[in-house]
Chains A and B, each alone.
Chain A
Amino acid sequence: LNGNGSLARKWDIGKLIYMENINPSDCIKRWRGGEEALSEGGDEEEDGDFFKKSDVSKSSSASDEDDLEKFKPHFDTFNNLVAKWNSAEGLRRRFIGAPKVSDVDQG
């Protein structure tokens, strides 16, 4: 498709979803990659590299998501979650009775 070349291209997820020739994990990668820093470089667009890369870097999360029959969603490891949610401050605005009134309205 017209994806070749432009590194800074911002992928439209609505279109990516229905591009059948791109497998779902690559859709996510392109979409996220397009919006965040494209640190992986331009070779990402080439097919050969694509396969290698998805084997190496996506293998752990790919195998987690591989079985779509799994009901339980994928979670990070215990230690990472503990580090991330050491304080629940970031979630305050999701709860009723949050102390900061200014944050509530964006709920």
Chain B
Amino acid sequence: MAPGNYVVLQGARNFRLRIVLSTLSGRPIKVEKIRSEDLNPGLRDHEVSFLRLMEAMTNGSSIEISYTGTTVIYRPGIITGGSYTHNCPAGKPVGYFVEPMLYLAPFSKKKFSILFRGITASHTDAGIEAIKWGLLPVMEKFGVRECALHTLKRGSPPLGGGEVHLIVDSLIAQPITIHALETPLISSIRGVAYSTRVSPSIVNRMVDGAKKVLKDVGCEVNITADVWRGDNSGKSPGWGLTLVAENKQGWRYFVEDIGGPGAIPEDMACGLAYQLLEEISKSSVVGRSQLPLAMVFMVIGKEDIGRLRITKDQVDERFIGLLRDIKHVFGIEAILKPVNETNSDDLILTIKGIGFTNTNKKIA
């Protein structure tokens, strides 16, 4: 299929996940045509920074970047983990770098303990609460129980100055196979409203705005105020809100946003509350931002069939893009079947695990 034993992939899309998939599978990849049509072609600073991080957390990886930066050849090594400090570039928040680490950390030789410095919130990438309350619970479902993200300092954009510490203590051989065929019922809605270097009243205004919308839902709504002051609050003023709908089985749906210039706290919170309702309506077992993580863990599971219920809305471009990348790298296809219920057009995503084992775990 590919010359020189590489899996050849094209485009700048899904860059981090491709590197992650390659590392998990042990297959070298070559990513071509990275923004080759762009006025400013090639890899961006944050992508190079991510590659540096990958280099630090693995042993024996080799990365070749072409002269123009439009082609990258990545030969994965083994995941070693350990302690490390990563200074994130100004353009991307820490969530951009923490997120791919979650895919790798449980399968490492040593425990992961990475200190990330930089901006801790943004409009597009994962925020701290989103990871803590949205992604870590998904990992728990797959058997990664001891995993924590500590916020030492918050750093709002543009200047940042935040610090978060990712610790993954569970080292497992492979993720548990899941069978999630029922859409779980939501028992409560929680949230965190935070602020750095602005008046604490903004936090309360966000809470009010969100509660106004969510009071109609008819379940308990509990939003925590989290005001950061002094040295730990970074270099820039900022505020944000994360809303999480949770259920007794431990699945979560979440949305998050931060205040931009001139934004009104009530309006932002109100809009976000509506986004939470929308996300709930579009999700079955996992939300859209959690789906890739769940899918990858299903792929690298035992040689057994994992099943996950998804909604029709969750089949989007990202979903297709990821399944295609998984097929290229791992050579397996997922199967989608409609559920056997008359009043639902949900689908069951079935993926057979590749029987991955953590190479660092000796099998007794």
Contact = CB atoms under 8 A, between A and B. Distances in A.
B304 interface: no
Among A27, A85, A106, find the residue whose CB has the most chain B CB atoms closer than 10 A: A85
Contact of A107 (B99, B182, B347): B182
A31 B345 CA distance: 13
A92 B277 CA distance: 11
B333 A68 contact: no
Contact of B186 (A16, A96, A106): A96
Contacts of B343: 106
A18 interface: yes
Nearest to B287: A73
A13 B14 contact: no
Interface string A15-35: 011101000110110010000
B218 A17 contact: no
Query: Which size class do A's interface residues fall under?
Result: 35 or more
B275 A75 contact: yes
A78 B186 CA distance: 24
Given A65-B316, A68-B14, A88-B216, A94 B279 contact: no
Contacts of B277: 81, 85, 88, 91
Among A14, A68, A81, A97, find the residue whose CB has the most chain B CB atoms closer than 10 A: A68
B124 A96 contact: no
B339 to A, nearest CB: 10
Contact of A97 (B16, B95, B218, B281): B218
B60 interface: no
A17 B317 contact: no
Nearest to A58: B317
B308 interface: no
Contact of A18 (B185, B216, B324): B324
A62 B316 CA distance: 11
Interface string B9-22: 00001111000000
Top 5 A-B residue pairs of the complex, sorted by shortest distance between their CB atoms: A24-B320, A73-B288, A24-B317, A81-B274, A68-B13
